[in-house]
Amino acid sequence: MAGEFLAQFGKNRLAVIGGILVLILFVVAISAPFVAPYEPDYIDRYHILEPPSRLHPLGTDDLGRDVLSRILYGAGVSLSVGFVAVGLSTLIGIIFGAIAGYYGGIVDRIIMRFVDVMLSIPTFFLILTVIAFVGPSIWNIMIIIGVTSWMGVARLVRAEFLSLKSREFVLAARAIGASDWRIIFRHMLPNSLAPVIVSAVLGVASAVLIESSLSFLGLGVQPPRPSWGNILTAGKANIEIAWWLSVFPGLCILITVLSYNLLGEGLRDALDPRLRERR
């Protein structure tokens, strides 16, 4: 099974490229304290708004801080927000989707109507509203993105459970007296994880984009802690004289989002046998 998955995944060159880029981004985020030429808050007052040079390969910002170092440290911040937020949203979505799909009836209707209400509210504006009350911080951003992004996972898990609960292995587990929770988490959930994995990978890209947007607006990760979004904020204020402050963090966001999307699409094609048959 694993060999078949790897063979199918390897046929998709764009997915392989996306996976390699994701791995590189992960390594960069982990190794930032060791490879960054400067501390992210180090100020070189003799080189303010300096273009890329030997001392500062990606230039400096309006305070004289090295852009390369801040981008490297910002990678860890942005990816941490993505992983934690997606982990939380996936957990919530699995719980609600599993309960709705397994029990059905009025429980299903109540949960899915709540999901419909949540989906009818623009997620970004909901996040902005919540942040206005609780205040911006990295942990608040992680939690808020997580608790406002679980609805898609819930619908995926519900659909999988609806198709699985009449299968023979589920009926056999009921016949021998297995509890509902054992059937859900031991028998049904492992057979429903393929679309959840794909959704989680794509969700990391979305969370990174949301975090960058919030930080750009000054409502996300707060200075002096670097993130790609608040580096772009300095770029906006100096767009006419310091192009590097917008180009390099913008490229990082673009590459990250594109990489996770390519990886997610490749995983979907490799994990879903119906898509393989169509090809």
Percent of the chain with pLDDT over 90: 28
| Rounded-to-integer distance, Cα 150 and Cα 148, Å | 6
Q: pTM for this structure?
A: 0.86
Number of neighbouring beta carbons within 10 Å of residue 66? 26
**Interval 97-146: pLDDT, tens:** 999 998 988 999 999 999 999 888 887 888 888 888 887 888 888 888 89
Contacts for 243 with CB less than 8 Å, ≥ 6 apart: none
Residue among 184, 134, 143 nearest 164 (CA)? 184
Q: What phi, psi does 66 have (nearest 5°)?
A: -70, 125
Section 73-81 average pLDDT: 88
Choice between 201 and 12, residue whose per-residue pLDDT is larger? 201
Tokens describing residue 34: 């060791």
pLDDT in the model for residue 242: 84
Mean pLDDT of the 15-31 span: 91
User: At 65, phi and psi to the nearest 5?
Assistant: -85, 145
Both tokens assigned to 113:
């109507």
pLDDT given at position 278 = 47
pLDDT tops 60 at residue 1: no
Burial readout 108-121 (b: 16 or more C-beta within 10 A, e: otherwise):
beebbeebeebeee
At 43, give phi and psi (nearest 5°).
-110, 120
Q: What percent of the chain has pLDDT over 70?
A: 96
Radius of gyration, alpha carbons of the chain: 22
Task: State both tokens at 47.
Answer: 């080189």
Determine the CATH number of domain 2-32+73-278: 1.10.3720.10
